[in-house]
Amino acid sequence: MDITWYLVLSALLFAVGVSGVLLRRSPLVILLCLELMLNAGNLALLAFSRSLGNQDGQVFALIVMVIAACEVVVGLGIIVAAYRRRIPLNVDDLRSLRG
């Protein structure tokens, strides 16, 4: 298969993730969409790695996975903490930083 297919697929997944961030209001789902975007990036990394015959891309993707995990952990911690304090879990309601 052409690498190009993988790359186009990665772009498509990324675009889907972006739309999700823009459209959904629940913070949990927004985090999920962030995961989508990260994984799209991972796919692109592996595709390039394969096309160049170099394993550096795979290592990079591994590190990205680690980062994604950390981010998820912290993000979910925030959601749980917010839920505990009875803050509405709706991103549109959390707008006190307005200009």
Partner 1 sequence: MSATAYGWLVLAFPLAGTLIVSLGWRGLPGRSAGWIATAMIGLSFLASIGALVQILGDPVDARQHTSSLYDYASAAGLNIQLNVLVDPLSVYMCLIVSGVSALIHLYSISYMTSDRGFNRFFAYLNFFVFSMLLLVLAGNLVLLIVGWAFVGFASYALISFWYRRTTATRAGMKAFVINVVGDAGMVLAAFFIFRDLGTFDLLSIFSKAPQTFHTNQGVVVVICLLLVVGAIAKSAQVPLHTWLPDAMEGPTPVSALIHAATMVTAGVYLIARFHPLFEIGLTAADIAAFIGLATLLIAATIALVVTDLKRIIAYSTMSQIGYMVVGVGIGAYSEGLFHLMTHAFFKALLFMAAGSVIGAMANRQNIDLMGGFRKAMPFTSAMLLIGALALAAFPLTSGWFSKDEILDFAAYRGGFYVIFTIGGYIGALLTAFYAFRIGFRVVFGEPCEEARELEGGHIHHAEPENPATGEREDTDVGFPGPTHQIAEREWPMRIAMTILGFGALFAGFIQIPGVDDAVHKFLHGSFLDSSLYEQGPSTTAAYRGLLIGGLISVLGIAIAYYAYLRRPGTTAALVARFPWLHDFLERKWYFDEAIDILVVRPALAVGGWANKIFERYVIQGLVMGVTDLVRGANAGVRGAQSGYLRSYALLLVTGFAGLGLYFLLQSS
Partner 2 sequence: MKEVAFFAGAIGALGGAIAVIALRNAFYSVLALIVHLISLAGLFLLLQGEFIAAAQIVVYAGAVMVLYVFVAAYVGNVDEPLWEPIPGQRFIAPLLGIALFVELAIAITGSSLQAIDTQGPTVELGFGSPSAIGKLLLERFLIAFEAASLLLLVAAVGAVVLAGRHRAADASAPRETA
The amino acid at residue 21 is V
Query: Could you say which of 1, 22, 53, 84 contacts partner 1 (CB under 8 A)?
Result: 22
Binding to partner 1 by residue 53, rule CB under 8 A?
no
Nearest distance from residue 92's CB to partner 2, in Å? Answer: 5
Binding to partner 1 by residue 91, rule CB under 8 A?
yes
What does the angle CA 69 – CA 84 – CA 86 come to, to the nearest 5 degrees? 120
Say whether 41 sits in a helix, a strand or coil.
helix
> 21 or 50, CB closer to partner 1?
21
The item of partner 2, partner 1, none sharing an interface with residue 87, based on CB under 5 to 8 Å by kind, is none
Task: Tell me which residue of 14, 9, 34 sits closest to 24, measured CA to CA.
Answer: 34
The amino acid at residue 35 is E
Q: Measured between alpha carbons, how far is 7 from 41 in angstroms, rounded to an integer?
A: 9
Given the rule CB under 8 A, which of 4-12, 49-57, 68-76, 89-97 is the region that contacts partner 1? Answer: 89-97
Residues binding partner 1 (CB under 8 A):
18, 21-23, 25, 91-92, 94-99
